[in-house]
């Protein structure tokens, strides 16, 4: 079993009925806007996260497709889960920027992935690759989220 707190929590939740739903709801509470898409984390491992969310009225835009911001919320949640599940204990991260391209109409349920190379966790900028797919496998959004990685400050004893 991993010594990473998020991976431990994920695997513990998977041992319960509706474990993915429980974990997803817990993680989505980290940022209230994540809850707006009602995400389901379907896979979480070091350097990879996949989640899905349903196309429903609350995430649609004026033309009936999934809204760009809902897609970006999914990308950011997947990136955040990947980062928390992957970063070495002596490092910390913070988002620095996001670049996305909308490549097709998002007219179905959505699957989001975030991925990094295993050796990427070093101080400085890290580009996390993020993708969104509609039900037929077509890419509807692609991009990268830049996170800045730095050493955790040393704590002085009290």
115: buried, middle or exposed (CB in 10 Å: 19+, 13-18, 0-12)? Answer: middle
DSSP secondary structure letter of residue 26: H
Q: Please give the model's pTM, rounded to 2 decimal places.
A: 0.93
| pLDDT at site 96 | 96
75: buried, middle or exposed (CB in 10 Å: 19+, 13-18, 0-12)? Answer: buried
The closest alpha carbon to 67, from 138, 132, 2, belongs to: 132
Concatenate the DSSP letters of all residues of 134-155 into one string.
Answer: ETTS-EEEEEEEEEEEEEPPPP
Q: How many CA atoms, within 13 angstroms, populate the side-chain half-sphere of residue 99?
A: 5
21-44 pLDDT, tens digit each: 999 999 999 888 899 999 999 999
- Give the chain's domains with CATH numbers: 5-151 (3.10.129.10)
- Residue 1, pLDDT > 60, answer no
């Amino acid at each position: 079993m991993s010594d990473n707190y998020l991976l431990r929590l994920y695997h513990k939740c998977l041992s319960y009925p509706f474990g993915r739903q429980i974990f997803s709801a817990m993680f989505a509470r980290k940022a209230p806007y994540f809850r707006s898409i009602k995400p389901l984390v379907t896979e979480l491992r070091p350097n990879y996260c996949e989640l899905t969310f349903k196309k429903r009225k609350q995430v649609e835009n004026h033309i009936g497709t999934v809204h760009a911001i809902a897609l970006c919320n999914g990308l950011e949640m997947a990136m955040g889960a990947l980062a928390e599940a992957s970063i070495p204990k002596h490092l910390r991260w913070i988002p620095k920027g996001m670049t996305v391209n909308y490549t097709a109409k998002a007219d179905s349920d959505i699957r989001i992935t975030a991925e990094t190379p295993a050796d990427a966790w070093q101080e400085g900028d890290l580009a996390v690759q993020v993708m969104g797919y509609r039900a037929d496998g077509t890419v509807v959004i692609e991009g990268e989220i830049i996170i800045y990685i730095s050493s955790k400050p040393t704590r002085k004893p009290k």
